[in-house]
Structure 1
Amino acid sequence: MKKSTAIASAAILALPLALASCSGGPSTSSGDADTITVMDYYNNEPDKTMIGDVIDECAATIGITVKRTTVPGKDLIQKVLQQASSKTLPDVLMLDNPDVQQIAATGGLTPLGDLGLDAAGSAQGMVDAGTYDGELYGLAPTANTLGLFYNKKLLEEKGITPPTTWEELKTAAAALTAGDQYGVAFSAIATYEGSWQFLPFMWTNGGDETDLTSPEVAEALQLWVDLVDAGSASDSVINWSQGDVKDQFVAGKAAMMINGPWQIPSLDAETDLEWGSVQVPVNTAGQTPIAPLGGELWTIPQTGDKAKQANAAKLVECLTTDETEMKLGTQRFTVPVRTSLAADYVAEMPTMEAFATQVENARSRTGKLGEEWPEVATQIYTAIQLALTGQANAEDAFAQAAAG
């Protein structure tokens, strides 16, 4: 997950009304069935070209022509709404994984099983993200998640090994804090990014989105409060996006950070920066780190054109072959979703080991709540803001956030 916006969330809430009018209706598709349309939000380089090349290669292999449209991520859902209303949805639609269940719930997507596709061998978290009411609606070639990055030089100077537990994290962060350098940075911003970054701590500690008032959830939030109150993390974390966190790390103003592998190209571009990564620390040694699963799924809208849908299915199938998953994973610093590829992937991409391991146990944000997830995600980042600004203690913050 690189970023989510309130605009997109509001648009999604309107989907049931907009899409209900088009699902199951007559097709407006026209032209040769061997020409299909694709829409995604990979509109920035290098992702735009990387994804485009793979789509073109698949199209050539299948023997079809693809007309691709890219839109900014913040505009994708609004574009879907417009196309649903005019019955001009593309034959293949890429969606951020938390959005799939909400759109599938409207009837606007085709169950992939009806087209002969399945998710055999894929990480369970991504299967859960692409499944609604027992039907699979989306497949992903690769995924991302969160880990703990650390500045090797700064830790070595203090004789500190990368922390694996919360207590080690607090101790290390305190020792690494001096002057304008903080021990650790994370994003606690009042958007879905803040909720996303909190989930590894909440889930690993046994907290659950179905009960945000549990002691396990409060304990995870207290960790963040403790880090900020101790001065080991800046109180500006409430305003930092994940991109801002990366900038702090690159500038040497944070010795460690919670972030995702999509930042690696920027880190590698800094020739003086030596970094490493480990899984997100756990509360108690022996716990299994559980982080949220990020990434996009390819879906097939209900256009009513069976011939085009058949070719759309061939394209989605090609986008999720072993070869394609490895290619995109190595090019984009994302992890192949097919778990059997993990060993070969890590051998080729050793800096991705922590993330590849993390993906195996990563969870879908919508796995338990489905289309109700956005409301709960809002409560999470609201509670974080309340606690980190001293408006509520960790035990009461989630109840206060739910009360609105």
Structure 2
Amino acid sequence: MRIRRIRINHHLYVRHHVRVRIRMKRSIRMRRPLAALAAAVALVLVTVGCGTGDPADPSRTGRAASLTVLDYYTDRTEHAHWGELLADCGRRAGVTIEHRSVPAPSLVPTVLRQAAARTMPDLLMLDNPDLQQIARSGVLAPLRPYGVRTDGFGPGILSAGTYRGEVYGLAPTVNTLALYYNKDMLAEAGVAVPRTWDELRKAALATTRPGRHGLAVDADPSFESTFQFLPFLWSNGGDERRLDTPQAAEALRLWSDLVRDGAMSRSVLTWNQADVHEQFLGGDAAMMVNGPWRMTELEKAKDLRWGVAPLPVPRAGAELVTPLGGEVWTVPRGDSEARMRKAAEVLACLNEPANQQTLATWHHTVPSRTDAADRYAKQVPAMAAFVESVRGARARTQRLGPGWPKAATAIHTAVQAAVSGQQTPEEAFRRAQRMATDS
């Protein structure tokens, strides 16, 4: 989701504040649905026969002196941070690291070309919703045979890296969404930080003024909008496997009513998460839904007094369920067993508690190991709301697997239709259900 990236068919990041937008997209990385790409990978495998040997095969021996690594961390600071950690883990494994980053929209096409040419990297980072599509194609190796430990990770986090019961990827850190609020604006309006939807409505209306709205969200026609809507859908009992339900319509009605009543700008239909951030940072919104990657910029705003809380739930006592953002690291199948084993060593090193803590501190993300996350929340109180929300966060592919992108498209299409007033929430989700199930 994010500090950063976008899907191929959404051209959102080519606007103003490019650096901020690059940071934004990392949490949810919006590229086009991968069904066609996965099919292409499968064809590549049939055609060129990527190595799929048994890790225990004694005939596949040899030494590995270096490893190639591919990710989409093109931001200069982020690339340097990852390069430093990769190099350190490489030294511990006895190999040098050749680290390459490509723009997010180029990652999967690059992987396809490399699969066809039998030049896959030894270590590959993927946006977590993309893993199942790529794993299904057969180009990734399961981690269990290489002794990579998965204990200590939350179930939602493991789910993001799992395909058909096998773990193919692990995320050193993750992220999700929470509610940012302007302390002075809420105090001026005499409202507390909202914990329920009713309280959110009241707070948004009470803090709305000429030239300022109470709440800013991303409702644009992209997977970013789906990411932001999921906490409302899931926490209300909605299910992406069946979108035309009263629970889904009620969640969407919350957003459409806030726009109708003026507590949210109609411009949310064109805002992505970077735009939402700019509204809050500039004092044009009293609250916003966004991710932890926003803190770096907010901390620079000396005159802005802000706080973070878990997203409001439909009613008191309801369980908050948020989507899980972040990237997983994988070991592509190759012809050299020695290189695959060394790649697995580096992957395991990246996921050690101390390295997770380092990455979280650098990038305002949440360590994936539960014990490391708890320690981090105590050290960085502003991150406590995100750590709490990650505990119950759900991988977007958990229920639909490789079919998730189709449902995600249907959801953000429904959000556009209802928030714009073109359709009622019920009508919008009936149409979305047809979209999601059409073959």
Q: What is the match of residue 239 of structure 1?
A: 270
Which AA in structure 1 matches 2:396? R
The aligned counterpart of 2:74 is 43
Gaps of 5+ in 1: none
| Residue-by-residue CA offset, 1:35-80 (whole Å, 9 max, x unaligned) | 1100000110321111111111111222211101101111111111
Q: Give the drift of 1:166.
A: 0.3
Summarize deviations over 1:215-235 as a string: whole Å, max 9, x none: 111110000011100000000
Match of 1:5 in 2: 7
1:138-287 → structure 2 map (5 Å cutoff): 138-287=169-318
The one-letter code of the counterpart of 2:234 is W
- SS of the aligned residue for 1:16 comes to helix
* Matched length: 403
Give the distance between the partners of 1:78 and 1:182, measured in 2 at CA: 40
Alpha carbons 2:256, 2:420 under 8 Å: kept: no
1:110 and 2:133 matched: no
Distance in 1 (alpha carbons) for counterparts of 2:247 and 2:149: 35
1:33 to 49, 54, 64: 64
C-alpha distance in 2 between matches for 1:336 and 1:323: 9
Q: Which runs of 5+ in 2 are unaligned?
A: 10-30, 53-59
Distance in 1, matches of 2:237 and 2:396, equals 15
How far apart are residue 12 of structure 1 and its match?
A: 5.2
* Equivalent of 1:381 in 412, 417, 428: 412
Q: Could you state the TM-score of these two structures normalised by the residue count of structure 2?
A: 0.89
Cα distance in 2 between the residues matched to 1:26 and 1:314:
19
Letter in 1 for 2:426: E
Amino acid at match of 1:103: I
1:78 match: 109
Report the TM-score when normalising by structure 1: 0.96
Distance 1:294 1:202 in 2: 16
Aligned partner of residue 38 in structure 1, secondary structure: strand
Q: Which moved more, 1:13-22 or 1:174-183?
A: 13-22
Query: C-alpha distance in 1, partners of 2:51/2:402?
Result: 27
* 1:94-127 CA distance string (max 9 Å, x none): 0000000010010010011121113211121111
Find the aligned partners of 2:426 and 2:35 in 1 and give their Cα distance: 31
* Shift of residue 264, structure 1, vs aligned partner: 0.5
Determine if the alignment matches structure 1 residue 364 to structure 2 residue 387: no
Task: Tell me if the contact between 1:20 and 1:107 (Cα under 8 Å) persists in the aligned partners.
Answer: no
- 1:242-289 CA-partner distances (Å, limit 9, x unpaired): 000000000000000000000110111111111100001000101121
Q: Sequence identity of aligned pairs in percent?
A: 43
Say whether the 8 Å CA contact 1:118–1:136 is kept in structure 2. no
Q: Distance in 2 between matches of 1:332 and 1:26?
A: 35
Taking a change above 3 Å as real, the CA distance of residues 26 and 127 of structure 1, as seen in their structure-2 partners, is: closer
Deviations 1:350-380 (A, max 9, x none): 1100000000000000001010000000000
2: CA distance between counterparts of 1:147 and 1:13? 33
User: Contact 1:11–1:78 (CA<8 Å) still a contact in 2?
Assistant: no
In the alignment, the residues of structure 1 paired with residue 38 and residue 336 of structure 2 have an alpha-carbon distance, to the nearest angstrom, of 22
The offset of 1:21, in angstroms, is 2.7
Superposition pairs of residues 13-32 of structure 1, within 5 angstroms: 13-22=36-45, 25-26=50-51
Distance in 2 of aligned mates of 1:4 and 1:281: 27
Superposed displacement of residue 304, structure 1: 2.4
> Which amino acid in the other structure matches residue 290 of structure 1?
V
Distance 1:22 1:34, change over 3 A: farther
Pair 1:225–1:26, CA change in 2 (3 A): closer
- What letter corresponds to residue 131 of structure 1 in structure 2? T
Range moving further from structure 2, 110-119 or 249-258: 110-119
In 1, Cα distance between equivalents of 2:41 and 2:328: 21
Q: Which residue of 2 aligns with 1:337?
A: 368
Q: State how far apart, in whole Å, the 2-side matches of 1:152 and 1:342 are.
A: 26
What is the CA–CA distance in structure 2 between the aligned matches of 1:383 and 1:311, rounded to whole Å?
46
Please state if 1:318 is matched with 2:333. no
Aligned partner of 1:172: which letter? A
